[in-house]
Every structure is written in structure tokens, then in C-alpha cells.
Amino acid sequence: MSPTAIRWIPRIAATLFTLFISLFAFDTGENGGGVRMLDLLMHLLPTLFCVVVIVSAWKREWIGALVFLLLAVVYGLWASKHVDWILLIGGPLLLLTGLYTWAWVQRKRMPSP
């Protein structure tokens, strides 16, 4: 696989994951009430955090690998009673960890220009 593809796959996958978790913000105001801005902001905090991680890991893939691994572990501990939640959220986080690690290793192997 080309080095360019290896570099872009984790970024695209992380962006898709971020879009996926942002869908959970649509459950605000679901109990018959209107959507309150504070509720919407609280539900979008994980999305904002993932965007910050993607930007931080743009040129330093090891940051993405480390942070997504930590998120997977913390989420797995937090949702330990809900295996289906762990598979739905923690699984993609571990996949992102692997993809960012792969991109980081490939970058280290490439000769410096």
C-alpha cells in the first residue's frame, strides 16, 4: 500500500468515527421537551475532543494512537456492564489505535527528504 494511503486512512477513519459519535447528540430533548443548548453542548463534547485529537495527531500519529488507546481503555472500564456499548464505541477506538500506529511506524521507516 502506498505511504500516502497509509497516512490518510487513520485520518479518514477518525473523522468518520467522530461523525458517528456526533449522532448521539440528536437524542437531546428526546423526552418531549425542546432541545436545550447546554444539553446539546454536553453531548457534543466527545465530538469536540475527537476533533482536537485528529488535529493534534495530523503530523504526530503517535498522539492519535496513544489517545485513542486511552479512550478505548477508559470507555471499556466506564461501560463495563454493557458489552454491546464497548463493542460499538471501544472497538472502533481500538481500530483507530491500530491505524494510527501503522501510520506512525510507516512514517518512521520512510527516509527523510
Give pLDDT, residue 53.
96
Residue 108: its pLDDT value, please?
A: 83
Q: What pLDDT does residue 110 have? A: 76
- How long, in residues, is the chain? 113
Mean pLDDT by 10 residues, the chain (113 residues): 90 96 80 69 91 95 96 94 92 96 90 62
113 lies in some domain? no
Residues 56, 45: Cα–Cα separation, whole Å: 16
Cβ atoms 50, 17 nearer than 8 A: yes
Number of domains in the chain: 1
Say if CB 5 and CB 91 are below 8 A apart.
Answer: no
Domain residues for the domain of 102 are: 3-108
Q: State how far the Cα of 40 lies from the Cα of 61, in Å rounded to an integer.
A: 30
In a domain, 26, yes or no: yes
